[in-house]
C-alpha cells in the first residue's frame, strides 16, 4: 500500500500491517580485535541490516545496509562489532555481514535476535561463512504508485516523478538505487508518471499526455544489465487517474481527458466513442460539461465487476465537488450504462472482496459504510430507487417534416403491482408538448393514448415507488403519418 501512508506498507493475508522495508541503520559498525579467539586476517567493510521475520522464520523484509565499518587486523582473536544502531521500526533481527580476509564481497556473518544489543563478537572462520553473497538491497522511496511485473515490484516516487524504480527479482523489499528506468519525456510536466498498468507482457507507464510501456524478461544480459526497455505507445493520450486503471483478462481500462480507453494486444482504443446500448454515442459524457465535473477526473476511481463483467467508473457529476455518480461499461456487449447515482451515500472507494465460497464480490465504500450488490430487496425499503429512462428522439428519418404520432403501446414483464409514468414530449427541437400517461405494470402489454403532432417524439419512463420492480421490454408507436401526405 502506497501513496496514502507516510511510507510504503505491506498487508498480509491475516491483515497484519508492516512497513515494506525498514529504514537502513544510521551508524557504521566499529570493528576491533578481542583476545581469546581463533580468527586471523584483515577485515573491513563490514555492514549490517535490520530484518523482519514471520512466525515460520521466513524473511519478510530487510533494510538496506549500514555505512561500512573500519578495517582491523586479527591474529588468533575474536572479531568484535560494536556501536550497532537500534532500529526505530519493529524488526526481529539485525544481521551482520563481513567479507573474507582482504576481500570486498559481503557474506552473512552473525545474527542478533531482537533490537536491543549493540555489539557482537565471533571468531567464525572464512570457510564457515555462508557460500552465497549478501543480497542486493535498497530502501524504497515514498511511493505514489506501485505495481507487480516480471516478479518485481515497480513504483514511482513522490519526488522522483519521472523515473520508475523496481526491486530485485523476488524481493519486494529490496530497492537498489540504480534500479531505475527513465520514462520519456523527462521534465515535461509537474505530474510525471501518474499511473502504472501491469499487463501480462508489458508494464504501462502513464503520464497525463503520454503512454509508455516497459518490456523485457527481467534477466541480466551479457554485460550484467537487466534487459528492460521502454517503447512509447502514444504521445496523444495518457492517464488521468491511477485509480481509474483496471486490468481484466489482459485488457487494461483507464480514463483520459476525452473518455475511457482500452489497451490490449491489439493496441489502444477509446471505447467511450461507441454507443450506449445502441442508442447513441456516449462521447459527450466525457468531453462536455453536461454530465461530469471534468476538473475532478484526476480523482476518479474504478472497479471490475467480474460477475457481469463490467468496468465501473466513479466520477463527480456536473457541478459537484465530490464523487457522487458512476457509469458501467459492459465488457462482453460493449455497451455503456448510466450515469447512476444514489441519495444514500457518496462513494469514496471501490474494491473487490472474496467471500467464504471464493466468489469475488464488488464493494463500494463511503465515509461511514460499505455496500455490496445484492439480488434481493432486504434493506433500504423505505425509499425507492428511481427508475428513469429517457429514449431517443424519433423523427422517422425526416427531421424537418411535421408528423402525427398515434397511440403508444408498451410491453414488459407483468409485476404484482405498480404504475409506470410514460412521459411523451412531442414537438421540435426548441419547443415540445408534454403528455403524461400511466402503464399498468400488472399487464404484459397495454396500449395508451395518441401522442399528437410534432416533428419528433421522445419518451421518458419513470417510477420511484419503494419495493416495486420495473422490467420494460420495449414500446411501439405504430401509427405515424407525415402531415399532408396520404
H or E element that contains 287: helix 283-287
**What pLDDT score does 276 carry?**
44
Mean pLDDT lowest for which of 264-268, 341-345, 378-382?
378-382
CATH 2.60.120 holds for 387-482: yes
Tens of pLDDT, residue by residue over 152-201, are 999 999 999 999 999 999 999 999 999 999 999 888 889 999 999 999 99
Please say if the pLDDT value at position 71 is more than 90. yes
Give rounded-to-5 percent helix, strand, coil for the chain: 5, 45, 50
Mean pLDDT across the stretch 71-90?
Answer: 96
Please say if the pLDDT value at position 204 is more than 80. yes
Strands of 93-98's sheet, edge to edge? 59-62, 47-53, 93-98, 107-113
Mean pLDDT across the stretch 221-237?
Answer: 83
Whether 427 and 451 have beta carbons less than 8 Å apart is answered as no
Distances (CA, A) of 58 to 168, 204, 276: 17, 32, 52
**What pLDDT score does 217 carry?**
79
Mean pLDDT across the stretch 238-243?
Answer: 96
Please say if the pLDDT value at position 480 is more than 50. yes
**What pLDDT score does 377 carry?**
67
CA distance 176 to 47: 16
**What pLDDT score does 56 carry?**
86
CA distance 207 to 204: 10
pLDDT band at 54 (very low <50, low <70, confident <90, very high): confident
Q: Provide the residue ranges of all domains of the chain, joining segments of one domain with +.
A: 22-128, 139-239, 260-373, 387-482
Amino acid at each position: 500500500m502506497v501513496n496514502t501512508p507516510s511510507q510504503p506498507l505491506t498487508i498480509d493475508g491475516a491483515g497484519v500491517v508492516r512497513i515494506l522495508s525498514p529504514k537502513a541503520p544510521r551508524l557504521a559498525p566499529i570493528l576491533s580485535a578481542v583476545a581469546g579467539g581463533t580468527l586471523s586476517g584483515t577485515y573491513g567493510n563490514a555492514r549490517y541490516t535490520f530484518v523482519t521475520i514471520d512466525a515460520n522464520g521466513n524473511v519478510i523484509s530487510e533494510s538496506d545496509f549500514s555505512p561500512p565499518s573500519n578495517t582491523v587486523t586479527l591474529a588468533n582473536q575474536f572479531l568484535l562489532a560494536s556501536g550497532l544502531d537500534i532500529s526505530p521500526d519493529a524488526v526481529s533481527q539485525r544481521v551482520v555481514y563481513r567479507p573474507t580476509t582482504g576481500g570486498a564481497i559481503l557474506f552473512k556473518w552473525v545474527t542478533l535476535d531482537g533490537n536491543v544489543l549493540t555489539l557482537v563478537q565471533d571468531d567464525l572462520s572464512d570457510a564457515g561463512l555462508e557460500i552465497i553473497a549478501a543480497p542486493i538491497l535498497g530502501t524504497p522511496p515514498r511511493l505514489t504508485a506501485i505495481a507487480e511485473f516480471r516478479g518485481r515490484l515497480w513504483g514511482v516516487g513522490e519526488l522522483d516523478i519521472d523515473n520508475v524504480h523496481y526491486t530485485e527479482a523476488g524481493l519486494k523489499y529490496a530497492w537498489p538505487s540504480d534500479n531505475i528506468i527513465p520514462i520519456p519525456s523527462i521534465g515535461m510536466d509537474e505530474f510525471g508518471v501518474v499511473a502504472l498498468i501491469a499487463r501480462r507482457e508489458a508494464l504501462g507507464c502513464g503520464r497525463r499526455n503520454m503512454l509508455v510501456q516497459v518490456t523485457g524478461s527481467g534477466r541480466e544480459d551479457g554485460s550484467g544489465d537487466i534487459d528492460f526497455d521502454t517503447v512509447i505507445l502514444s504521445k496523444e493520450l495518457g492517464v488521468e487517474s491511477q485509480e481509474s486503471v483496471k486490468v481484466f483478462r489482459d485488457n487494461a481500462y483507464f480514463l483520459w481527458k476525452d473518455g475511457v480507453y482500452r489497451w490490449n494486444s491489439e493496441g489502444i482504443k477509446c471505447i467511450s466513442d461507441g454507443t450506449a446500448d445502441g442508442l447513441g454515442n456516449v462521447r459527450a459524457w466525457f468531453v462536455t460539461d453536461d454530465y461530469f465535473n471534468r476538473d475532478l477526473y484526476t480523482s476518479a476511481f474504478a472497479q471490475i465487476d467480474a460477475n457481469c463483467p463490467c468496468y465501473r467508473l466513479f466520477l463527480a457529476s456536473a457541478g459537484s465537488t465530490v464523487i457522487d455518480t458512476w457509469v458501467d461499461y459492459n465488457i462482453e456487449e460493449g455497451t455503456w450504462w448510466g450515469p447512476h447515482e444514489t441519495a444514500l451515500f457518496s462513494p469514496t472507494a471501490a474494491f473487490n472482496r472474496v467471500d467464504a465460497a471464493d466468489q469475488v464480490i464488488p464493494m463500494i465504500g463511503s465515509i461511514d459504510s460499505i455496500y455490496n450488490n445484492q439480488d434481493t430487496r432486504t434493506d433500504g425499503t423505505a425509499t425507492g430507487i428511481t427508475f428513469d429512462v429517457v429514449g431517443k428522439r424519433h423523427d422517422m428519418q425526416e427531421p424537418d417534416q411535421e408528423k402525427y404520432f398515434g397511440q403508444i403501446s408498451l410491453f414488459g414483464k407483468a409485476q404484482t403491482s405498480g404504475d409506470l409514468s410514460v412521459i411523451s414530449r412531442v414537438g421540435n427541437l426548441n419547443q415540445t408538448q408534454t403528455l403524461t400517461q400511466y402503464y399498468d405494470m400488472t399487464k404484459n402489454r397495454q396500449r395508451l393514448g395518441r401522442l399528437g403532432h410534432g416533428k419528433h417524439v421522445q419518451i421518458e419512463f419513470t417510477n420511484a415507488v419503494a419495493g416495486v420492480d420495473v422490467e420494460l421490454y420495449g414500446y411501439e408507436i405504430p401509427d405515424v403519418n407525415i402531415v399532408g401526405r396520404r
